[in-house]
Chain A
Amino acid sequence: MKKNVNIDIAVTHIVTRKKQTMVAALGVAIGVAIYLFMNSLSSGFTVYSRNEIFKNNAHIKIYKEDEISQPIDTGRGDRLTVISNPQITTLSNRLIDPAKLLQEVKQEPFITNAIAQVAFDAFYRRGKAQVPGSGVGVDMRDYNAMFNTEKYMVAGSIDDLHNNLNGIIIGSGIAEKLNLGLGDNITVSSSYNVVKNLKIVGIFTTGSLMTDQSKSYVNVSTAQQFQKEGPSYISTLFANTLDANRSEEYVAKLQTIIPYKVEDWKTTHADVLAGDKTRGALMKAISVSILLVAGFGIYNILSSTIAQKINDIAILKAAGFTGRDVVRIFVTEAFIMGIIGTAAGLLFGALLIKIMSGIYMGGPVGYFPIYFEPRLFATSFLLGLGITISAGYFPARKAAKVDPVEIFRK
């Protein structure tokens, strides 16, 4: 087998300088491990916060935007300016012909699921005690398909609501405050002064106190009655898409066929997203810096190797090795150190992730949200290797420029 002589020399250098190789590789390993771990941490937390959002929110929400009265004249040119007092002029937030609208939305290829709901302000009462909150009228089976509500049910079931027009599913916080249990009756009144006696068919706990103490689910017809509206009344459509991250382009498409406001979750939760982004940038900056420091380790060790081996480089060049050969020799050394370091770093990072994922955080979080993400392993690998190779390239190029005559004439 014909072995490449440059690689042969590089491997010999590496093998005869095990300690230095290991020090350089260890630097890279720590850098890569921390990079991988921090980014997994950040990514896991993003997944968690997304899931929190999608517990109660769909990717896309369609509703009627409040209308603001327009000034009669904008006063352009030398026309008289009429000052008006803009006010909300919405008479009703009803979506016209919701069944057809829902059908249209569902027909879009990127929509995976869509449901209609009627939201209303609710007051839960028992005797004199009263808890304010909000109710949602939905087809509970469709709703469950979208938000997986069943996962959070602690008593009763969503099917019971489907089968009982006078049923209600309430948050555990409400049940606790009003001292009510499954099968009990609860008095619910709306802001339109409709009062109904409903039977508790289910209780849920999401882990979010705010939701658990205020939210309830009823059938669509019940909610329509609370709003004093007829059976065609729908206030909001929710739709899930193939890819939550591409929601903007789906919104743009939907907006062309729908006369109502189409809003994606990114708009609704801009604050959460901005937080995620800031945290992501912070983690990236720190982890890349650590990786860069590891790169400097390689640079340092290779620079000193080259300084020590300047005679060897001179004789190789005299014997007919080109500058490119010399670069290859030392970049190969950096590459070997990089491979060893990156591989060890990935293993070490994986171990950290494994340990972290076993830590129980309690509350709604449960186990620490950190996952093995192949994408992050791939970027850590490429980045670790890329940085070591470029850190090796600069001293290697310097070595290639060694003038052998200067060395021999000393």
Chain B
Amino acid sequence: MMEKQHVILSTRSLVKYFFEPVKFKVLNEVSFEAYQGEFLTMVGKSGSGKSTLLYCLSTMDTKYEGEIFIDGDKVTGKRVDQLASLRNSSIGFVFQFHYLLPEFSCLKNIMLPALKLGRYSYSEIEERAYQKLELLDLKGQALKQASKLSGGQQQRVSIARALINDPKIIMCDEPTGNLDSKNTQIVFETFKHLAADYGQTIIAVTHDNDFAAASDRTIELADGRIISHRKDFSQEP
């Protein structure tokens, strides 16, 4: 299993401070690698820095020390518009809240990042959006307004949106935090499928131990440091 794998994302001595209310070191020399096709979860107590780490990796937070590489390319120090286009083409995001644009149909919500990327024509993008909806078992909801769906459906639409540009990495912040067990199961299966069959890397911050346990690898953080890289979280002593 651990043959030489392609490193899709890596960090080198990541350090980050918070200045409010007092200066505080949130991330302390964090270095790790994530591989192509890996379903990686990050766990830790509240305040351990796991979400902060995720937002640094996401390229949206640029105020850190150390270096981040995505697919061999150093992203630290790039201009904001370069980072935006990198996110557009290579990273998909799923949050605890769905963040769908309420005025748009589900289909249109999914299409927006692809329309921004402009790699395909409008009709091709539409076709691809339908495929993603099918993948998440939502085909019947395509033309409904995003605000009219149930919470679980909305979250699945937001996952479809994260997938539309076939990103190399999908980053998730508590993706199942608001979901019932049935929807959690669907989301989990989808991620598994994406990692195994499409070679996409999933990096998910979670509180859900079962969710973490079922992933390929779990990184545990405490006080801004990585304290373990366990493959099987459930066998914690």
Contact = CB atoms under 8 A, between A and B. Distances in A.
Interface residues of A, number: 28
A318 B93 contact: yes
Contact of A319 (B80, B88, B103): B88
Contact of B101 (A312, A320, A325): A312
Interface residues of B, number: 33
Contacts of A3: 115, 122
Contact of A311 (B60, B80, B99): B99
B99 A312 contact: yes
B1 to A, nearest CB: 33
A318 B60 contact: yes
Contacts of A12: 103-104, 108
Contacts of B81: 322-324
Contacts of A100: none
Interface in B74-121: 80-81, 84-89, 93, 95, 97, 99-104, 108, 112-113, 115-118, 121
A9 interface: yes
B173 interface: yes
Nearest to B117: A320
Interface stretch (A115-123, A359-367, A401-409): A401-409
Given A2-B122, A5-B112, A408-B95, A320 B85 contact: yes
B55 interface: yes
A8 B95 CA distance: 25
Nearest to B95: A408
A320 B99 contact: no
B11 interface: no
A152 to B, nearest CB: 66
A59 interface: no
Contacts of A85: none
A2 B103 contact: no
A13 to B, nearest CB: 7
A315 interface: yes
Contacts of A311: 97, 99
Contact of B84 (A312, A320, A408): A320
A314 interface: yes
A323 B85 CA distance: 12
Interface string A391-410: 00000000000011100110
B61 interface: yes
Given A8-B115, A321-B116, A409 B51 contact: yes
A317 interface: yes
Nearest to B104: A12
Contact of A318 (B87, B100, B102): B87
Contacts of B100: 315
A320 B116 contact: yes
Contact of B112 (A13, A319, A324): A319
B67 to A, nearest CB: 19
Nearest to B86: A320
Contacts, number: 75
Contact of A322 (B80, B108, B121, B173): B80
A320 B89 contact: yes
**Which has the most chain A C-beta neighbours within 10 Å: B112, B121, B161?**
B112
Contacts of B176: none
- By CB atoms of chain A within 10 A, which of B55, B86, B117 has the most? B55
B223 to A, nearest CB: 19
Interface in B115-131: 115-118, 121-122
A16 interface: yes
B60 A405 contact: yes
Contact of B60 (A2, A317, A321): A317
A311 B99 CA distance: 6
A1 interface: yes
Contacts of A1: 122
Contacts of B61: 405
Contacts of B122: 1-3
A317 B84 contact: yes
A323 B80 contact: yes
Nearest to A316: B112
Contacts of B117: 320
Interface of A: 1-3, 5, 8-9, 12-13, 16, 311-312, 314-325, 403-405, 408-409
**What are the 8 A-B residue pairs with the smallest beta carbon separation, nearest first?**
A320-B88, A5-B115, A315-B99, A16-B103, A319-B113, A322-B84, A320-B87, A322-B81
Given A13-B103, A316-B112, 12 more contacts: A3-B122, A12-B104, A314-B99, A315-B101, A317-B84, A318-B60, A318-B99, A320-B85, A323-B81, A405-B60, A408-B173, A409-B51
